[in-house]
A and B are shown apart, each in its own frame.
Chain A
Amino acid sequence: MIFIKSIYNEVIKIALKPRSYLGIAAITVLVGVILFALKSDGMSIISFVTSSFEQTLSFEGNVLNGNLVAFIILQMLIVQIPLLIALVTGDLVSGEAAMGTIRLLLTQPISRTQLLLSKFMAGGIYTLIVIVWLGFMSVIMGKMLFGTGDLMVLNSDGLVILQEADVNWRYLGGFLVAFLALFTVSSLSICLSCFTDNSIGPIVTTMSIILLFTIIGTLDVHVFDSVRPFLLTTHMASWRSFFEDPLPIQDIKNSILILLIHNILLISISIYVFNKKDITA
């Protein structure tokens, strides 16, 4: 019961920070701008992509629909969202250490492990809210503005056209995997937060790690071939696998497993460090 109450307290603390609303506001503005741009000149973007086919073929039907718009938005924003998550979760421990409230907090009849786990849970709830808001803004708003229809998935090696009835469950699966990936970012930042007593350090370090991993993932250099499959950022894009045909179930399972291992490792390290942490200084 005390654990549940602790989670509630942590969620309230997140809700009271103005910074927490930055992520929501940023998503609202970013998605709004993308929706406006696509509404104004979306067909030219699609035409730019399919131009080599359109010399020979014509695409009939509502190509620029809400499903495609949502997919484009997710592709564009999935790189930025982790930064918005880290901004809030990165100081869940270090922020309290910096302000000195961690000592007061630990006078409650709750173990350090339980307190830390409640912070992880609160970080997860915040991540879930961000993902749900992103889903609402991209899928629901996209469908409201552009209507619905078959989804034309733009891959680097061709086009996959998924039927309208076959899309919603893919979005659900994609968002669940995206949540797991972002929860891993949250875990990483909370873990880093256990090591320091200042707020900015873990946030900047989390962002740096994500940038570094993204660059390693992008660089087509064989030296990184063995490392790339284990990087967190590699599997942050695995939501996209849900839009392939046939569904690469093994790849998705692999991504989920690696993300879960990341989470277990990061939470374990955090618990160890937090239990050893000197809070009396």
Chain B
Amino acid sequence: MLRLFILLCVSNMVLGQDANKTVASVISQMNRVKNYTVDARIKSDIPLIKILPVKAKIEFKQPDEIKMKTQGIAILPKKGFTDLAIMLKNKSSYTAIFTGYEVVQKIKTESITLLPSNDAGEIVLAKIWVNTGEALILKSQITTRTNGTVVADYLYGKQKEFGLPDELTFSVDVKKFKIPKGVVVDINRTKTAEEPKNQGKMGTIHILFSNYSINSL
């Protein structure tokens, strides 16, 4: 970790970019939104889970109050939905390091690594790809101690001035899923369940946002 930190610091100095300035512009964009409500359509494609798209209503209030009302059961990533925003706003909890330029969604972005100050914390590493021109996060990646890595791709539309995406796609690690046999009384199956082919692979959760109502509460 120390080597990585030194390497990132050196590269930061060589490239001469101010990651903190970029992060600050992103936070400033976020802070323009005091509250919002939005309709969401959540489509999950997770290995070993069969679920149809679900509609939901999301309410957000600063600083980090988020409520979700779903018309049924919806699946969301455990980390990544609100954790990144919470982490970014708490400036003392991380060190932002510029790690280069990358093209994301055909746009040149600044890649910034966020190293948590607390070594024992849940988030091990976070990374964001920022379109500096519009101060928008186009992609993020959060690696946690217990929940694996969650990658999020942001697609902006009408609400890009507030930094709110129209589409959000999460890619999550799904560990091998096994229900304890005692719980499932499925003893009379005539054939053994086929070994699922997609075990241990990535799952995606696609959220489509519509009908934003910003700063109206």
Give residues in A with beta carbon < 8 Å to B.
45, 48-49, 52-63, 75-76, 78-79, 149-150, 152, 154-161, 163-164, 214, 217-218, 220, 228-229, 233-237, 240, 245
Measured in the bound complex, the distance between the Cα atoms of B77 and A228 in whole Å is: 41
Residue of B148, B188, B194, B196 contacting most chain A CB atoms (<10 Å): B188
- Residues on the A chain within 8 Å of B75, using CB: 57-60
Tell me the minimal C-beta distance from A130 to chain B in angstroms: 19
Are B48 and A57 in contact (CB-based, < 8 A)?
A: no
Give residues in B with beta carbon < 8 Å to A.
46, 48-52, 54, 56, 68, 70-78, 146-148, 150, 172-181, 183-190, 192-194, 196, 203
Are B185 and A245 in contact (CB-based, < 8 A)?
A: no
- Residues on the B chain within 8 Å of A161, using CB: 49-52, 72-73
Residue of B46, B177, B194 contacting most chain A CB atoms (<10 Å): B177
Are B181 and A156 in contact (CB-based, < 8 A)?
A: yes
A57 touching B51 in the complex, CB below 8 Å, given contacts A52-B176, A158-B177: no
A78 touching B49 in the complex, CB below 8 Å, given contacts A59-B75, A60-B74, A60-B76: no
Tell me the minimal C-beta distance from A223 to chain B in angstroms: 15
Are B49 and A53 in contact (CB-based, < 8 A)?
A: yes
Are A55 and B146 in contact (CB-based, < 8 A)?
A: yes
Q: A53-B49, A156-B179, A237-B185 are in contact. List 12 more A-B contacts (CB 8 A).
A: A53-B174, A53-B177, A54-B78, A55-B175, A60-B56, A149-B72, A149-B73, A150-B73, A157-B48, A160-B51, A229-B190, A240-B186
Are B56 and A155 in contact (CB-based, < 8 A)?
A: no
Measured in the bound complex, the distance between the Cα atoms of B181 and A23 in whole Å is: 28
